[in-house]
Chains A and B, each alone.
Chain A
Amino acid sequence: GAGVSQSPRYKVAKRGQDVALRCDPISGHVSLFWYQQALGQGPEFLTYFQNEAQLDKSGLPSDRFFAERPEGSVSTLKIQRTQQEDSAVYLCASSPDRGYGYTFGSGTRLTVV
């Protein structure tokens, strides 16, 4: 596609509910990243894929967070048993390979009530 597409754009979840956030990267981009951005802060790294391999998940805040990219294209970030502190904007980005700039999606704003 022309850009990185994320869905849904907004998600309201009740505390304890599971959510799944989707990212469609630019076709052919090898690298895919997930970031979490709290209000007024810079994006915080969550996890990184190169094709289907998850090479770094050091930024995932807890074992309630899980990400996958099974066929090396679309990725899903899943949050189980959501908590209020999970409320943030979740940004997905892709790049052709290492050492290139990233193209970001518009993000998913998650609000846990």
Chain B
Amino acid sequence: SQQGEEDPQALSIQEGENATMNCSYKTSINNLQWYRQNSGRGLVHLILIRSNEREKHSGRLRVTLDTSKKSSSLLITASRAADTASYFCATASVNRDDKIIFGKGTRLHILP
């Protein structure tokens, strides 16, 4: 079963533009994580945001968390061709923070 739902399912933008992906989830969480997956490869951990945090930055990445709306967003600024990948949110529920459940992902394509 999947906890998170990413939106949109697919996104194509021009290189240099900002990309925003959203994630909604159902149950109360301990933390929420974003991962990137290039075609045919393993997942790479991007950012972990805890339930008591509202915003976190890492380089060109900005993640926000709104626990009242049970949603998160991932913003990639000044996109590059190398950002083309699938992006997944994953949540650790407050009752079971020892495992994370993934959504179906957003496929991001950066156009040259």
Contacts and interface: CB of A to CB of B under 8 A. Distances in A.
Given A42-B102, A50-B98, A104 B92 contact: no
A105 interface: yes
Interface residues of B, number: 24
A99 B102 contact: no
A91 B44 CA distance: 12
B49 to A, nearest CB: 11
A65 interface: no
Interface residues of A, number: 25
A79 B11 CA distance: 36
Interface in B19-52: 30-31, 33, 35, 41-45, 48, 50
Interface of B: 2, 30-31, 33, 35, 41-45, 48, 50, 88, 92, 96-105
